[in-house]
């Protein structure tokens, strides 16, 4: 039923888009900006991911700005790094919104850190930031390390799962986030078997309906609100119910666990949350805490899985890089007690370079957007009106030879300490930048590095001849779940 309704809406919206395509066809030309066809229409009728479409526009037009529309919304694709810096950081007061619309009845989406409500976003971010301090993550690392060990045991004893490696790494990232949020389930032998893992894995799998809802939210925000659509409506019962159940059971448990639920309990114990600079107040309800738990999965599970996936794919294409990485990992494990410590992670410098290069070549988010919240002017002199959208072509920037020599070559040495300083500011944006930079950067790195270190301690990769992934249709990410590589047990 929902699919039929959405399909009808989709046809109506396409007609409306065609109308606005004509009426806004000259919007950017008055500022002497090249204007091309509507980006949302191209995405809707294409099988390609939006980052691929935007990158093609980036490559085809040697200009600093590309004007387009997203249905009814004038949209500017910005290639100039000074303008990008202004949008993400310097002129944050004019671009503090991601432009991702939500409805008040959508308990999960309306309370995520992607929200448009600036005051609510600022307060929630203030309260969640301490979760990701070095001290908190050090205490939490035992959870990540246990999940990494269980992950390798799963890989070793399940040859069938190894045939679809993306599903394997997705199970690990989902499991480690589940354990970091809800704690380690003592009722199961392996963290990979937690009931939360399978439920979350299914709930967060991309779907056609969700893609359509995202497009409607971004191109027809008024209609989206009128229809009271929900971005995560089908997941709401699971996440809210799970968090409520765990919170209630843990209110009477004094054991220190250092997981996210413990942080939630501390916030609730402290009462009403308040931003003293603005006076804005918010009650830390179970539903609000459930939304933050959902945020962990939405922002982290798939993006971290993709980073691991592409790292492994490129290592299978580059045996010399793989051999060098094995050498570093083996050295860290030598003489150890069969486990990684928090301090060991810092010793894996070459692994860090490999991950950074994987995120350059395949950024977790291939295109970012910001909604202009008040009239302003970019450093390059282009006026941006309130309600316009800025698109930042991350994938295009990361593959631009102006910023990265031989951008299609996988070269971790780009991220040697002496080379990092040579990378142009705001040309490398795997986690975004500015006030809305991904809050979970440190957690994601720990999770990915621990998982890859344990996996490549036990396994190596069968060399293959430059396997190039094909990306599936996605509004923001670069997903290639069918890309394959073969894991083989090492003789150590």
Give tens-digit pLDDT for 388-439: 999 999 999 999 999 999 999 999 999 999 999 999 999 999 999 988 888 8
Q: What pLDDT is recorded for position 237?
A: 77
Write the CATH number for 200. 1.10.630.10
Query: Does residue 12 or residue 289 have the better pLDDT?
Result: 289
Give tens-digit pLDDT for 180-192: 888 887 778 899 9
Q: What pLDDT is recorded for position 242?
A: 83
Contacts of residue 115, defined as CB under 8 A and 6 or more positions apart, other chains included, come to: 100, 102, 109, 121
Q: What pLDDT is recorded for position 26?
A: 84
Q: What pLDDT is recorded for position 399?
A: 98
pLDDT of 216 above 60: yes
Distance of CA 285 to the CA centre of its chain: 25
Q: What pLDDT is recorded for position 111?
A: 59
Query: Does residue 256 or residue 444 have the better pLDDT?
Result: 444
Query: Exposed, middle or buried by CB within 10 Å (0-12, 13-18, 19+), for 206?
Result: middle
Which of 14-23, 104-113, 423-432, 457-466 shows the lowest mean pLDDT across its residues? 14-23
pLDDT band at 298 (very low <50, low <70, confident <90, very high): confident
pLDDT of 311 above 60: yes
Q: What pLDDT is recorded for position 295?
A: 77
**What rounded mean pLDDT belongs to the chain?**
86
Q: What pLDDT is recorded for position 66?
A: 96
pLDDT band at 489 (very low <50, low <70, confident <90, very high): very high
pLDDT band at 252 (very low <50, low <70, confident <90, very high): confident
pLDDT band at 91 (very low <50, low <70, confident <90, very high): very high
Give tens-digit pLDDT for 29-88: 999 999 998 898 888 888 899 999 999 999 999 999 999 998 788 999 999 999 999 999
Look at the block and give the residue holding tokens 């480690």: 176
Q: Is there a binding annotation on residue 438?
A: yes
Query: Exposed, middle or buried by CB within 10 Å (0-12, 13-18, 19+), for 78?
Result: buried
If we measure between CA atoms, which residue out of 369, 399, 398, 373 comes closest to residue 384?
Answer: 373
Q: Decide: pTM greater than 0.85.
A: yes
Q: What pLDDT is recorded for position 210?
A: 67
Please give the share of the chain, as a percent, with pLDDT higher than 90.
52
Nearest-5° Cα angle at 248, 245 to 251:
145
Number of domains in the chain: 1
Query: Does residue 350 or residue 42 have the better pLDDT?
Result: 350
pLDDT of 214 above 80: no
Full domain range(s) for residue 259: 2-489
pLDDT band at 218 (very low <50, low <70, confident <90, very high): low
Q: Which one of 197-206, 229-238, 433-442 scores highest in mean pLDDT?
A: 433-442
Q: What pLDDT is recorded for position 416?
A: 97
């Amino acid at each position: 039923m929902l699919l039929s309704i959405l399909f009808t809406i989709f046809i109506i919206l396409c007609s409306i888009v065609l109308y606005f395509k004509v009426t806004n066809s000259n919007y950017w030309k008055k500022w002497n900006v090249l204007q091309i066809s509507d980006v949302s229409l191209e995405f809707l009728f294409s099988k390609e991911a939006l980052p691929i479409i935007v990158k093609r526009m980036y490559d085809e037009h040697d200009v600093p700005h590309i004007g387009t529309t997203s249905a009814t919304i004038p949209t500017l694709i910005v290639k100039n790094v000074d303008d990008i810096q202004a949008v993400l950081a310097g002129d944050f007061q004019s671009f503090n919104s991601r432009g991702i619309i939500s409805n008040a009845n959508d308990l999960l989406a309306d309370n995520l850190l992607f929200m448009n409500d600036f005051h609510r976003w600022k307060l929630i971010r203030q309260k969640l930031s301490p979760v990701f301090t070095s001290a908190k993550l050090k205490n939490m690392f035992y959870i990540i390390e246990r999940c990494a060990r269980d992950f390798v045991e799963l890989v070793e004893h399940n040859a069938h799962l190894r045939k679809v490696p993306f599903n394997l790494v997705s199970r690990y990232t989902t499991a480690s986030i589940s354990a970091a949020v809800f704690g380690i389930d003592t009722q199961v032998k392996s963290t990979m078997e937690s009931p939360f893992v399978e439920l979350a894995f299914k709930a967060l799998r991309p779907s056609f309906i969700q893609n359509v809802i995202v497009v409607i939210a971004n191109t027809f925000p008024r209609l989206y609100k009128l229809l009271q659509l929900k971005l995560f409506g089908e997941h709401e019962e699971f996440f809210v119910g799970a968090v409520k159940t765990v919170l209630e059971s843990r209110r009477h448990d004094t054991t220190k666990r250092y997981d996210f639920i413990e942080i939630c309990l501390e916030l609730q114990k402290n009462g009403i949350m308040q931003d003293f600079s603005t006076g804005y107040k918010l009650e830390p309800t179970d539903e609000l805490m459930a939304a933050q738990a959902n945020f962990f999965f939405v922002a982290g599970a798939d993006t971290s899985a993709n980073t691991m996936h592409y790292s492994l794919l490129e290592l299978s294409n580059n045996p010399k890089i793989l051999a060098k990485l094995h050498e570093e990992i083996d050295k860290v494990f030598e003489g150890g007690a069969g486990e990684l410590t928090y301090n060991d992670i810092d010793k894996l410098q070459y692994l860090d370079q490999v991950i950074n290069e994987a995120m350059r070549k395949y950024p977790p988010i291939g295109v970012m957007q910001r909604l202009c919240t008040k009239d302003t002017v970019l450093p390059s002199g282009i006026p941006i009106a309130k309600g316009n959208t800025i698109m930042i072509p991350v994938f295009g920037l990361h593959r631009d030879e102006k910023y990265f020599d031989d951008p299609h070559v996988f070269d971790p040495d780009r991220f040697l300490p002496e080379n990092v300083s040579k990378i142009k500011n705001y040309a490398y944006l795997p986690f975004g930048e500015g006030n809305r930079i991904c809050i979970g950067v440190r957690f994601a790195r720990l999770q990915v590095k621990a998982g890859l270190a344990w996996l490549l301690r036990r396994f190596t990769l069968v060399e293959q001849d430059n396997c190039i992934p094909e990306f599936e249709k996605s509004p923001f990410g670069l997903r290639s779940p069918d890309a394959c590589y073969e894991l083989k047990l090492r003789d150590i």
